[in-house]
A and B are shown apart, each in its own frame.
Chain A
């Protein structure tokens, strides 16, 4: 008890100190603004990112170009960690970096508080990004809260060796031909494969496959006014039933939950043959499947193009150096720089010009059988047609849906009907 009390007291003292410090720190915020002069005065800019943005070398370059600027990089390990950090400090009103990286999934919830972020719309950057990339970060009044960094255009990654064993065509072009079409075509090819594959599943997880499908629906969970329609939307119910039919009844799923230990381990055990893969997934597969030969990527995506993930740079209005921060964010998200980030960490650019750059189009990936990944992903990015509407509750509803799928596909605690009922209850409680 004593030791606990002492720890409490100590941490309380530390908290008081931290409060006092941040209180001092936020004092300078008042005389800042995006319109202020940028120039030669010494300034330290903090940049918050997560996972791999590929910016380390770019920061050094920028500091050389602008000797008055010192960049302090704050890197969170996961996007969840970054999101918790962002929301907590937004709520506290201080403590955020001058530039904060955010993921597309949290955009809708942040768009509800546009006055927390500087308006970055600027004629100089108009047309820099793919339309759907900018549209997702723009409020109804036309305020742009973030500059796009990378995007997640999706192709289909597959195991050529397992395809061959099951008697399916295995080279990139034939696979793309075979899978081109609707989701039903993709699942039908899966049935053919599973019948001949000796226990290897067609895809890894019902949830991951659903993610690819739902990202092609314009208004999945909310109408344009933000009213929740998820549980009455027949499109959602149809996709839900289709993916579970394929996963459970037809046995195409390896019954894994994405990112769990079992999923990570499954890359070493030939558990499944295909996987929907956005650009950033290539690195994940390469890491998890180290030593496994046969991975390849086809220039195709069922049901049209699809985007999964991607990030933005925002400038919180609580920051003291918004003008300098904007300059840096604009520089970082310019096509030339984003191509360098792609070369460094594989983050696929969302800038129109970058998609045409030779450095990008010439990129091949040795792990994926020397596939021209730059060209394939550039094709996949231009194939994206739908910008799904994501309102403030999108994240939470999609989470509930993922759990509904996991209950049937992985946990086997429910059948599709009872799990849907639980989904309806969960959405009702939001």
Chain B
């Protein structure tokens, strides 16, 4: 060992210089290809993130900056006021009223929407004649502009002259005060939202349903499960990831609801007693009605925080559900 060691050690010292060069050259081209492998995926997706930085991140941060100042829509930047705008807004009854309305409309729209969408998807998944016609049919409401939907439903839900109330009176019930009673107005607005989005969600569910292997159903049929049992024990559990996706997108959309509530009356402020003023409408009232961008930005940031909190809660809950699914 000792002898061979002695014999063999010198050569490397003699040959070190040329070998090093080739090693270096090799290392550099290796590095380049390493970078290529490591970096190019990021480069490929970077356009989205660059755009996001311009259209998403920058407005977000700039809104935070605006919210710390007194800021007029036309007059522009005023003094730095710290958290004053937040303190002011949090002390406003209209703010908390808007938070309540937003959640109420969100729940009244999202929950029935998901349930009905799954039911429609299940029907569409069955063997129907003119399948494409029915499938495209459920998407038609989604194509209608929200403001047009608002105009149509406004007519239906007018307090004295509306079709819905006339029908209620026709069958001997009391007319509902759609524009005076808070909960009634939320239900009416939720109806518009559901009209628009249920079909869209139904198609997403339908796509997911068709991805469920048919042999699972065959096995269930052999085990003696009826249609209903199959739906609840096979279809719904297999749809879980899709349901999670739909719930999360519905949450983000629902908390930002604006169009349908805004066109629910002509003034667009959410009613004389702010019966259906949502958070985004409150932002609009502060920013464009009162031209106080500082306060409007403060509410925008509070809304952002609320959405982040809800999204995190959503994530935790759905992860637990997903884990349970995995164990089964």
Residues of A within 8 A of B (CB): 1, 4-5, 8-9, 12-13, 15-16, 80, 84, 87-88, 90-91, 109, 112-113, 116, 256-257, 259-262, 265-266, 269, 396, 399, 402-407, 410-414, 422, 425-426, 429-430
- Residues of A contacting B180 in the complex (Cβ-Cβ under 8 angstroms): 410-413
Are B94 and A429 in contact, CB atoms less than 8 angstroms apart? yes
Which of the residues B55, B158, B272, B289 comes within 8 Å of A261, measured between beta carbons? Answer: B158
Which residues of chain B are near A4, meaning CB under 8 Å? 249
> Measured between C-beta atoms, what is the minimum distance from A88 to chain B in Å?
8
| A–B pairs, 22, beta carbons within 8 Å | A1-B249, A9-B51, A12-B55, A84-B288, A90-B74, A112-B75, A257-B267, A257-B272, A259-B266, A259-B267, A260-B266, A265-B158, A396-B290, A403-B269, A406-B272, A407-B272, A410-B179, A410-B272, A411-B177, A411-B179, A412-B180, A413-B180
Knowing that A87-B288, A259-B267 are A-B contacts, what are 12 other residue pairs whose CB atoms are under 8 Å apart, sorted by A's residue number?
A8-B55, A84-B288, A91-B73, A91-B76, A260-B266, A261-B158, A265-B161, A396-B290, A403-B269, A403-B273, A411-B180, A411-B275
Inter-chain contact A396/B51, CB cutoff 8 Å: no
Q: Does B54 contact A (CB under 8 A)?
A: yes
- Residues of the A chain whose Cβ atoms lie less than 8 Å from the Cβ of B291: 87, 109
A266 — which chain B residues lie within 8 A by C-beta?
160-161
Taking a contact as CB atoms under 8 Å apart, the answer to whether B51 and A261 are in contact is: no
Once the chains are docked, how many angstroms separate the CA of A308 from the CA of B208?
59
Complex Cα distance, B91 from A425, in Å, reads 11
Question: B residues within 8 A CB of A422?
Answer: 273
Q: Which of chain B's residues have a CB closer than 8 A to the CB of A112?
A: 74-75
Chain A residue at smallest Cβ distance from B252:
A4
| Distance between Cα atoms of A405 and B267 in the complex (Å) | 14
Tell me which residues across on chain A come within 8 A of B194, comparing CB atoms: none
B84 on the interface (CB 8 Å rule)?
A: no
Provide the residues of chain A in CB contact with B273, threshold 8 Å.
403, 407, 411, 413-414, 422
CB distance from A288 to the nearest CB of B (A): 12
Complex Cα gap A109–B288 (Å):
12
Chain A minimum-CB-distance residue to B56: A8
Residues of A within 8 A of B93 (CB): 425
Contact B74 A113 (CB under 8 A): yes
Of A8, A12, A260, A269, the contact of B179 (CB 8 Å cutoff): A260
For B162, B180, B249, which residue has the most chain A Cβ atoms within 10 angstroms? B180
User: A12 and B161: CB pair below 8 A?
Assistant: no
- In the A-B complex, the 10 residue pairs with the closest CB atoms: A265-B161, A406-B272, A411-B180, A261-B158, A403-B272, A12-B55, A259-B266, A262-B160, A407-B272, A413-B273
Instruction: Please indicate the chain A residues that have their CB under 8 angstroms from the CB of B55 in the complex.
Output: 8, 12, 15
